[in-house]
């Protein structure tokens, strides 16, 4: 399996933790079909030293690499972050938020109910 990327997120009802992400496998010039996975799956994969990043479609219609994705541990609670800030909230910026004002956003999965794969 190649590098893992995600293109969209859905937050929980408090809007502070990612509930699900739309994940793709990076296949070099293309990306695999999306699959919806849980927040815990993202954290587990990162804990097992697998690399994650965000991706977005550029103006040319091709996927572009966004930010590296990791997590911070605050008192035993893990928060998915694209920066190293120790804030008790997940973050899904495509770039380190403090560096880029006009960065592309990771899409938000709509609020209609669905089941993760």
Alpha-carbon distance 52 to 100, whole Å? Answer: 20
Residues 6+ positions from 31 with CB-CB distance below 8 Å: 5, 24, 25, 55, 63
Q: Where in the chain are the domains?
A: 4-108
Whole-angstrom CA distances from 101 to 23, 25, 27, 55, 93 are 25, 28, 29, 17, 11
Cα(95)–Cα(102) distance, integer angstroms: 10
Averaged pLDDT, 59-79? 89
Structural contact between residues 86 and 70, judged by C-beta atoms closer than 8 angstroms = no
Task: Report residue 98's pLDDT band, with 50, 70 and 90 as the boundaries.
Answer: very low
User: Model's pTM, two decimal places?
Assistant: 0.76
Between 97 and 43, residue with greater pLDDT: 43
């Amino acid at each position: 399996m190649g590098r893992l990327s995600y293109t969209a997120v859905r937050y929980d009802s408090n809007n502070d933790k990612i509930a699900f992400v739309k994940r793709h496998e990076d296949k070099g010039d293309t990306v695999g079909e999306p699959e919806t996975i849980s927040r815990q799956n993202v954290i587990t994969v990162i804990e097992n030293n697998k690399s994650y990043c965000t991706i977005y479609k550029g103006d040319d219609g091709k996927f572009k690499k966004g930010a590296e994705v990791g997590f911070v541990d605050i008192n035993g609670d893990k928060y998915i972050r694209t920066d190293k800030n120790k804030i008790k909230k997940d973050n899904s910026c495509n770039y380190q938020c403090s560096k880029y004002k006009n960065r592309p956003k990771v899409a938000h999965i709509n609020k209609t109910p669905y089941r993760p794969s």
